[in-house]
Amino acid sequence: MTPDETKNALRVAAAAHGFQAFGVATVAAPLRREYYLRWIAGGQNAAMGWMERNNERRLRPENFLPQARSIVMLGLNSRQPPPALPYRVASYALGEDYHNFIFKRLKKLCALMRTWGGEQRPCVDTAPVMEKPIAEQAGLGWQGKNTLLVNREHGAWLLLGTIFTTLELPPDAPERNNCGLCSRCADACPTGALADPYRLDARRCLAYLTVEHTGDFPPEFREAAGNRLFGCDTCADVCPWNRRAADATEEKLRPRPLPPDLRDSLAWTPQEYDARFAGTPLKRLGLARWLRNACVVLGNTGTALDLPALEKLAAASDPAAAPAIASHAAWAIAKIKARAAAPDVPAAPATPDGG
């Protein structure tokens, strides 16, 4: 097959595996290395220390797979309406863990490419790879002011998979930046994490604080968290490039059952939690962070009906544990009681955008 025929055959196979977006970059594509290093030097990666390591591979894709010639980028649409719940879980986390099923599909594509004489290395957000700048070079979209990859057709909702290959495939034209004068994402961010366009301050970002951050929820961001239990979709939701985006068709992303009220989850054991969320991104969060976040959400949106479960949790939790669930429960109790004492002040609304 010619390189064009190989690329087309791969595009067809990728579509058959559920990927809606496909593109190829050369392994020598420019990746804004200086920008990344400045971001790290400014400490805006918060406690994500792994982002400071392996930069000789992260910033030089040619070191990721010796003799690699091309990088295939694949995108899978994750947009879906939020379930009717009084709290929010990020769209990508409602169903199965995408790392698992996307990786399996990449491996199948790699096996096919092997029959064409290529050596491959796949990854899904699990290796030091600059996925979004590479996707931009492969024409899948541009890295917007919200730092997400924005695609003309699918908006800000593509989950990315990457295959490094020794096959020489014709590269696509890089996508140009189409943010223009828009600032909707920064304007909508409840914590000011996008104060500098194109630069996310993870220390202020609710997607980081609710998921990756392991300690206490910083008091200064608890109210801003609103009803966000896991992740934050706000700066993706508001992007005007979503207007042509369809909802996800991927069965594995379909929402798994979640408790209708967070108070029902406050008495779960770690075993119950793990069994309930096996195979989903919520499993990696673990019960302690779930309880921490649930207290924050209930503090913002809860009512007197939630007080008995919160009081029980406060009494049962080890005050020396990290995160300190007892103190988060006490915070929630105090917030709910303060609202009850001032009935003219409504509880924070459980709006679809999490605010």
Among all residues, which ones are annotated catalytic? Answer: 125
Query: Residue 76 or residue 211: which is nearer to ligand SF4 going by CB?
Result: 211
What is the H or E stretch that residue 134 is in? helix 131-137
In our burial notation (b when 16+ CB lie closer than 10 A, e otherwise), range 155-194 reads: bbbbbbbbbbbbbebebbebbeeebeebebbbebbbbebb
Residues 192-231 that bind ligand SF4 (CB under 6 A): 193-194, 200, 205-207
Answer whether 251's CB lies under 8 Å from 80's CB.
Answer: no
| Site membership for ligand SF4, residue 185 (CB under 6 A) | yes
* Antiparallel, parallel or unpaired: β 88-89 and 228-230: parallel
Query: Residue 28 or residue 46: which is nearer to ligand SF4 going by CB?
Result: 46
Least Å from the CB of residue 239 to ligand SF4: 3
Least Å from the CB of residue 24 to ligand SF4: 24
Least Å from the CB of residue 226 to ligand SF4: 10
* Antiparallel, parallel or unpaired: β 21-26 and 149-150: unpaired
Instruction: Figure out which of the listed residues 29, 76, 179, 348 binds ligand SF4, where binding follows CB under 6 A.
Output: 179
Distances (CA, A) of 185 to 107, 191, 226, 246: 35, 11, 17, 20
Q: Which stretch binds ligand SF4 (CB under 6 A): 3-11, 48-56, 179-187, 271-279?
A: 179-187
One-letter-per-residue 3-state SS of 294-332: HHHHHHHHCCHHHHHHHHHHHHHCCCCCCCCHHHHHHHH
Answer whether 281's CB lies under 8 Å from 212's CB.
Answer: no
CA-nearest of 237, 246, 279 to 90 is 237
Query: Residue 194 or residue 310: which is nearer to ligand SF4 going by CB?
Result: 194
Half-sphere exposure of 30 (CA within 13 A, CB side): 6
Instruction: Figure out which of the listed residues 20, 44, 120, 146 binds ligand SF4, where binding follows CB under 6 A.
Output: 146
Q: Per the structure block, which two tokens stand in for 41? A: 């030097």
Residues 224-283 that bind ligand SF4 (CB under 6 A): 232, 234-235, 238-241
Answer whether 178's CB lies under 8 Å from 142's CB.
Answer: yes
Residues in the chain: 355
Query: Residue 146 or residue 165: which is nearer to ligand SF4 going by CB?
Result: 146
What is the H or E stretch that residue 72 is in? strand 70-77
Query: Residue 129 or residue 179: which is nearer to ligand SF4 going by CB?
Result: 179
Q: Which stretch binds ligand SF4 (CB under 6 A): 1-9, 98-106, 188-196, 287-295?
A: 188-196
Closest residue to bound ligand SF4 by CB: 144
Instruction: Figure out which of the listed residues 7, 105, 121, 145 binds ligand SF4, where binding follows CB under 6 A.
Output: 145
Counting residues that bind ligand SF4 (by CB under 6 A) gives 24
Least Å from the CB of residue 152 to ligand SF4: 11
d(CA 212, CA 215): 9
Query: Residue 292 or residue 339: which is nearer to ligand SF4 going by CB?
Result: 292
Amino acid at 71: I
Instruction: Figure out which of the listed residues 9, 85, 127, 182 binds ligand SF4, where binding follows CB under 6 A.
Output: 182
Q: Which stretch binds ligand SF4 (CB under 6 A): 4-12, 97-105, 191-199, 285-293?
A: 191-199
Query: Residue 184 or residue 252: which is nearer to ligand SF4 going by CB?
Result: 184
d(CA 265, CA 259): 7
Residues 74-133 that bind ligand SF4 (CB under 6 A): none
Q: Looking at residue 199, what DSSP letter applies? A: B
Least Å from the CB of residue 45 to ligand SF4: 13
Least Å from the CB of residue 227 to ligand SF4: 13
Q: Kindly list the residues in this chain that would bind ligand SF4 in the complex (CB under 6 A).
A: 144-146, 150, 179, 182-185, 189, 191, 193-194, 200, 205-207, 232, 234-235, 238-241
